[in-house]
A and B are shown apart, each in its own frame.
Chain A
């Protein structure tokens, strides 16, 4: 009886929410440009985990139709997640490429220093 009352907090969805906000914290608090890009990746990872855990049932089969009487996994989140992963990869790639060319011009990985250099140039 006691076991039934226990609420399992360590579910995939809660992990996903925590991951998402860890990524958000990184965006708010880290000044390193690469860490910003990594934080974006972590946020995306949280969303992806949330998506695939939405209608998860234990012992479900891959959604390839054929046999009757088996629990199939929800196919739509999986299809969406593949797209989200592809989009995430390309965004990370573009951001990193932009970072490289930024690094070549400014020579720093710090947002604050880049801003300072820009302001100095403006004042000149």
Chain B
């Protein structure tokens, strides 16, 4: 029964709260969040002790009914989503723009995200992602100014197109197998005679999900949606911290489903490397604080993709762990960016100065997140990056990961410069609950880093030995790359023309569709070649 609670309680309560507009709505919504967090932790403990929970709707058989399956991975993702939504409520509940409509959309989005993590029915996934796309685009244009209207529209059209591709893939798959349940299809997949009949559905579905995960040619909607100027920072947090993980989660499930017949790990590894390099190059050249963070989401997603398609179990665990770590530090960074932008009235990193003096608490959280994202020892990013690196057998891949990390360090030196110095701007007081929210999630970066080996043991039942020597080694590598990064930034990159002026990669709807078509054709060709 417990799995239904994650879906029905928020939807029913959210609708009810919208219909009864009273002042107490915010308190009830807050209590709901705490309830969901508690329930998700209970669910996780239950599953670690007693094994996976399977619940079938509509029929006695899993094949014909609609299944909700919760394994440890899903349960951990549900805890993550409950936690991040709770932080967002603490952060923004008393803000002016948070009205009943916003709370309604937020609660429904939460239950949709949770049910995507639970469902194993392909058509269900389509419907849930489609509805959440609509809600997200409404949230993007919530403040209804001209830029966000365009960004929300581009987001809506490109994502709906992607999901239509996905649905077409599901239709062809249904023709081949006669079922829609992911686990059953995976079982049947090994008996298929003509694996060429899977090329079309595979390419269609991966193109659709690839747009959700922002792979290389398909990422240009992401910075627009995640960093649109007027969107509230908690919306950015949900999008960048949590909602892109839905894409990665689906990617993991779908490639796992196809794994008996089609294995394109090498291709995705290359796509991942390119995605993260391109993300970093774009992040260098932005001066807009939120845009830098959004492009970093692209590059970290590339890193996650590298981890999960490296082919070794260690790096796979690293990639999955990086999903959680990235959610933590990206949420902190977006929340801090929101506070800073509100106070300084500008988004230009060259104009913001003296943040540490004016906003000490926010700065501490931000420093912890920056240490996390750049992979400093004892912080969470280092654990997952260490695992991803540990699985890389190839020297080229190993050095690529170090280069990507160096790039991350360089662009965060640019961000960290806003902390220095002093500015004469008269600063408003930051509300205490905002400080609590930011510090709470910021300290998670440190806690998850220190408890990294324990976390890996609890999540995957896999032991990593983090000896003192490894910490020392990582410390040295980090300090050396920090020094190189600092020198490179001040001596070379800072002076490059494209970094100064900024390059923009602003694709419209037509171009996004063309790149989707190109990615689709690329996938068809590569799958065809591998299957010969």
List chain A positions with a Cβ less than 8 A from chain B.
Answer: 20, 24, 27-31, 33, 36-37, 40, 43-44, 46-47, 50-51, 54-55, 76-77, 80, 83-84, 87, 90-91, 94-95, 98-99, 101-102, 105-106, 111-112, 114-115, 118-119, 121
The answer to whether A27 and B146 have CB atoms under 8 Å apart is no
What CA separation (Å) do A19 and B180 show in the bound complex?
Answer: 24
Give, as a whole number of angstroms, the nearest-CB distance from A75 to chain B: 11
CA distance A40 to B149 in the complex (A): 19
Q: How far is the CB of B149 from chain A (nearest CB, A)?
A: 5
Minimum CB distance partner of B146 in chain A: A105
Q: Which of B467-523 contact A (CB under 8 A)?
A: 506, 508-510, 513-514, 517
Q: A119: which B residues are within 8 A, CB to CB? A: 506
**Residue from A43, A90, A91, A106 with most neighbouring chain B CB atoms (10 Å):** A91
Q: How far is the CA of A105 from the CA of B141 in the complex (A)?
A: 13
Residue B192, interface by CB 8 Å: no
Q: Are A77 and B168 in contact (CB under 8 A)?
A: no
User: What residue in chain B is nearest A106 (Cβ atoms)?
Assistant: B146
- A118 & B171 in contact (Cβ 8 Å cutoff): no
B272: interface (CB < 8 Å): no
Q: Which residues of the partner chain B approach A106 to less than 8 Å between Cβ atoms?
A: 146, 150
Q: Can you name 5 A-B residue pairings with CB atoms under 8 Å?
A: A20-B168, A40-B161, A84-B126, A91-B156, A98-B141
Closest to A98 in B: B153
Question: Across the interface, which residues of B come within 8 angstroms of A98, CB to CB?
Answer: 137, 141, 149, 152-153, 156
The listed residue (B130, B147, B172, B506) touching A87 by CB distance below 8 A is B130
| A-B complex: 10 closest residue pairs judged by Cβ atoms | A27-B513, A28-B513, A54-B175, A105-B146, A43-B164, A50-B171, A111-B508, A28-B514, A47-B168, A51-B171
Partner of A118, one of B146, B156, B164: B146
Binding site of A, secondary structure by majority: helix, strand, loop or mixed? Answer: helix
Q: Is the interface of B mostly helix, strand, loop or mixed?
A: helix
- The answer to whether B153 and A99 have CB atoms under 8 Å apart is yes
In the bound complex, do residue B123 and residue A115 qualify as a contact, i.e. CB atoms below 8 Å apart? no
Seed contacts A40-B161, A83-B123, A99-B153; 14 additional CB < 8 Å A-B pairs = A27-B161, A28-B514, A36-B157, A40-B164, A50-B168, A51-B174, A87-B130, A94-B137, A98-B137, A111-B508, A112-B508, A118-B146, A118-B150, A121-B146
Q: What total of A-B pairs shows CB separation below 8 Å?
A: 97
What residues on B are CB-neighbors of A31 within 8 Å? 510
Q: Give min CB distance, A95 to chain B, whole Å.
A: 6
Which of A36, A50, A54 is close to B509, meaning CB atoms less than 8 Å apart? A36
B28 interface residue (CB < 8 Å to A): no
Most chain-B CB neighbours within 10 Å: which of A43, A98, A119? Answer: A98
- Nearest to B134 among chain A residues (CB) is A94
| B160 in contact (CB, < 8 A) | yes
CB distance from B505 to the nearest CB of A (A): 13
CB of A102 within 8 A of CB of B149, answer yes
Which residues on B sit within 8 Å (CB–CB) of A90?
Answer: 134
Give the contacting residue for B513; candidates A24, A47, A54; CB below 8 A. Answer: A24
Q: Which of B123, B126, B156, B164 has its CB near the most chain A CB atoms (within 10 A)?
A: B164
Assembled-state Cα–Cα distance A89/B230 (Å): 29
Contact of A40 with B160 in the complex, beta carbons under 8 Å: yes
What 1/0 flags go to B125-157 for Cβ under 8 Å of A? 011001100100110010010110110110011
Q: Mark B436-455 against chain A: 1 for CB-CB distance below 8 A, else 0.
A: 00000000000000000000
B167 within 8 Å of A (CB atoms): yes
